[in-house]
Homo-oligomer: A and B are copies of this chain.
């Protein structure tokens, strides 16, 4: 085992165990612990329905420091009323007793089916085992334990030198349906040994989410448990980053690299997906319009099935842009699939079908819509829509 993902930075240990919530006996409980209290920040779902573990964590994060993150998969701990709030508190208390901290120092995540209570007996036994197995090599185990319908664990890390100090950032994430900008059925935990103030950590996380977690879409659904958490324990020993400047920029750059890599993994591993699709909007009049157009294309089942079928049906792309709500001039729009221009000034242009087919057959497909009516660019990642998506989601609960 190697020091990957959340255990890449100094002073973080993790583990992932099977406590019996998942019927198939797979890992379903992850624990991440910082050796010392870490500065923390979080971003949470905008869904008005919020899971009980998520609500606990929103409150706990607002205190600004944390020691541990415990995440179970297989049960969302959502829509079960006050019992769910009590169960979240109990779960945090169990972790706090093991780790030796306050319950409020424990951040939680629960992902899975809605409407069922957590089995606290299983959680308790699982947490004891997870605590015993905590290790500086445990990042991969933790990443596996948070998976639901994910087909592979998602980890990323970066180390960089700044002012004589080596700063490391690591992260893990789980998808893989209910993915759409402004969080998704997505949980991501990022750890770092950087010494950074609460305020700047929070800002870095928000700036980062804008180009990573908030730029992926699998199916347009967003869940009630989505969150991304970041813990910074300062063990790298760098002078505290507490304002703008090159030290912050270096940190932000590395954080974005980790988050973008995780986000692209989430899109690539969208339920049933066979391809990663990157959609670029160029020269839009404003950010809002770029956002509307990107979202509409990324959500369109017709675009996603056409890409799956390697059909260069660009009419669906301009159609989706057209109904996005953005009030643009379609007669200025150029569309390319990879390097193949298929639409110029809103009109069909003759193109090499064989070249387009080659673009569409690749595991990564880049679509570019140049609006030619402004200077704003943006991008989003999504995946193709396949029969496996239907198979996976037709019987998720049962």
**B301–A223 CB distance below 8 A:** no
Which B residues are CB-close (under 8 A) to A398? 309, 311
Which among A48, A81, A342 has the greatest number of chain B C-beta atoms within 10 A? A48
Interface residue A393 (Cβ < 8 Å from any Cβ of B) = yes
Interface residue A314 (Cβ < 8 Å from any Cβ of B) = yes
The size bracket of the interface on A is 35 or more
**B315–A347 CB distance below 8 A:** no
Which of A's residues lie within 8 Å of B, judged by CB? Answer: 45-49, 76, 78-81, 113-116, 177-178, 180, 219-224, 299-302, 305-306, 308-309, 311-316, 318-323, 326-328, 330, 342-343, 345-348, 385-387, 389-391, 393-398
Which B residues are CB-close (under 8 A) to A319? 47, 49, 114, 178, 221-224
**B79–A115 CB distance below 8 A:** no
**Stoichiometry (number of copies):** 2
Return the contact of A79 from the options B46, B223, B346 (Cβ within 8 A).
B346
Which B residues are CB-close (under 8 A) to A315? 76, 78-79, 113-115, 397
Nearest CB in chain B: distance from A326 CB, A? 7
Q: Closest B-chain residue to A326, C-beta based?
A: B48
Cα(A319)–Cα(B184), bound, Å: 11
Q: Closest B-chain residue to A114, C-beta based?
A: B315
Q: Given A114-B318, A301-B220, A394-B309 in contact, is the A323-B79 Cβ separation under 8 Å? A: no
Nearest CB in chain B: distance from A247 CB, A? 37
Cα(A312)–Cα(B223), bound, Å: 17
Which among A305, A321, A396 has the greatest number of chain B C-beta atoms within 10 A? A305
Cα(A326)–Cα(B46), bound, Å: 11
**B48–A394 CB distance below 8 A:** no
**B348–A312 CB distance below 8 A:** no
Nearest CB in chain B: distance from A277 CB, A? 14
**B302–A178 CB distance below 8 A:** yes
**A305–B393 CB distance below 8 A:** yes
Q: List 30 A-B contacts (CB under 8 A).
A: A45-B323, A48-B322, A48-B323, A48-B328, A48-B330, A79-B348, A81-B347, A114-B316, A115-B347, A115-B348, A116-B348, A180-B323, A219-B302, A220-B220, A220-B300, A221-B316, A221-B319, A221-B323, A301-B385, A305-B389, A306-B394, A309-B394, A309-B395, A311-B394, A311-B396, A311-B397, A312-B397, A313-B397, A315-B397, A387-B391
Which among A81, A177, A313 has the greatest number of chain B C-beta atoms within 10 A? A313
Cα(A78)–Cα(B347), bound, Å: 8
Cα(A180)–Cα(B309), bound, Å: 23
Q: Closest B-chain residue to A395, C-beta based?
A: B309
Cα(A309)–Cα(B387), bound, Å: 13
Nearest CB in chain B: distance from A118 CB, A? 13
Cα(A327)–Cα(B49), bound, Å: 10
Which B residues are CB-close (under 8 A) to A397? 306, 311-313, 315
**A49–B313 CB distance below 8 A:** no
Which B residues are CB-close (under 8 A) to A177? 302
Which B residues are CB-close (under 8 A) to A306? 393-394, 396-397
**B394–A49 CB distance below 8 A:** no
**A320–B390 CB distance below 8 A:** no
Cα(A300)–Cα(B222), bound, Å: 10
Cα(A302)–Cα(B45), bound, Å: 17
Which B residues are CB-close (under 8 A) to A45? 323
Closest 4 A/B residue pairs (Cβ): A114-B315, A309-B394, A49-B322, A115-B348
Nearest CB in chain B: distance from A395 CB, A? 5
